[in-house]
Amino acid sequence: MQFVCRLGTPDGRIVEQRHQAADESVLRRELEQRGYHVFEMSRPGILSKLSFGHLKSGNRKVGNEAFLLFNQELAALLRAGLPLLQALDLMLERMENPSLRPILEDIRDRLKAGENMSDCFAAYGETFPRLYSSSLKAGERSGDMEGVIRRFIRYLQLVTSARKKVVSALVYPAVLVGLSFGMLALMGLFVVPKFSAFYEDMNAELPALTRATLGAATFFRSNWLLIFGALVIGIAVFRQWNRTEAGGIAFDRFRLSFPLIGTILHRFGLAEFSRSLATLLGGGIPLVSAMDIAVDGVGNAYMRQRLRPGIDLVRQGEPFYSALEKSEIFTHIAVDMVKVGEATGALDEMLTSVADFLDAQVETRSERLLALIEPILLVVMALIIALLLISIYLPMFSVITQIQ
């Protein structure tokens, strides 16, 4: 669910933002943990659209590629010496993206009214990564907006590349499984029932394997609509449960425990956290604030739950590496690398190295998974189809043997 929030920031400003959450109490607790004071919170409707007119475009999703291209162009124009407003005007003259253009027009108008660029992007809530608005705030403080944007561009390129590698490693097995089950369904619906009628005419004694196959095919064909409806309802119930806080944490924990794939998802989540944190620290954001933002950037809900207590530990003066160690999800070598970086004062550089190391592990394990899963799936599906064919043709072999 989406909520329109009127918030007081830790530095004394009042902002209006949109956030996604399972319910109002969960969102209020999360915002208060981030240091915000919640003045007002409501579901978006007609009144909220009128009151927060500048947020109407915030519901639209902006793709990573379009957002990456926008930042690359903006960084190039800033490097050429153009003021921020003039750079945005120049980009809007050629902007054709229907999702991004109205947002940029609104941001340009608000910049002319005197608002900070970081606040303008933050007001769009989940439309843009929280990491981006925080990076812009660091650029406004340091005066190096172009450098901050280029650092974010590098972060976005690396994260996008890592996600594509993980997805590409899992696409082929998923397609192979889907096609195999589709073929089995077609055989069960159209091929096997014809053999069932044929064997009934023969009045032959069927083997147990054949009877089981024909019985399953007959049940599937007679009740396919009921089975399909139950499957749709089951998926809908699961998705609704997965949207709850407890459901999301439980399912993400199960995904991490899944053989082979769980290790890849675990390493990818750690790389996300490490790279986000390195980007924020490199932009001058304090460690506690950077951790708060980086934890929210982790896609796995269970990992977010394990990492969040570390924010309070660091706030209380405990070393950062110790907080990571107590989360029990960071690998020992990653904790040791962070410990060295914290001791030498190069934590952001060491976190980048940790992210690169974890990304390399994700790529290697993905390639191994793909190389391993292809032959396994082929063998398993071949055995299933062979068993199905044997069960169908076995009575025919028996009849032919009796005739001979």
Least Cα distance to 385 among 121, 108, 192 occurs for: 192
Name the residue with higher pLDDT: 121 or 167. Answer: 121
Least Cα distance to 326 among 317, 335, 315 occurs for: 335
What is the rounded CA–CA span in Å between residue 357 and residue 85?
Answer: 39
pLDDT > 90 in the chain, percent: 5
Least Cα distance to 195 among 393, 371, 33 occurs for: 393
Burial of residue 362 (CB within 10 Å: 0-12, 13-18, 19+) is buried
Residues carrying CATH 3.10.20, the chain: 1-51
Average per-residue pLDDT for the chain: 79
Cα within 13 Å of Cα(351), Cβ side = 25
Amino acid (one-letter) located at 51? S
Q: Say if residue 294's pLDDT is above 80.
A: yes
What is the rounded CA–CA span in Å between residue 173 and residue 175?
Answer: 5
Structure confidence at residue 55 (pLDDT): 41
Q: What angle do CA 375, 369, 258 make, to 5 degrees?
A: 110
CB-CB contact of 66 with 100 (8 Å): yes
Section 349-368 average pLDDT = 85
Q: Say if residue 318's pLDDT is above 60.
A: yes
CATH topology of domain 1-51: Ubiquitin-like (UB roll) (3.10.20)
What pTM does this model have? 0.64
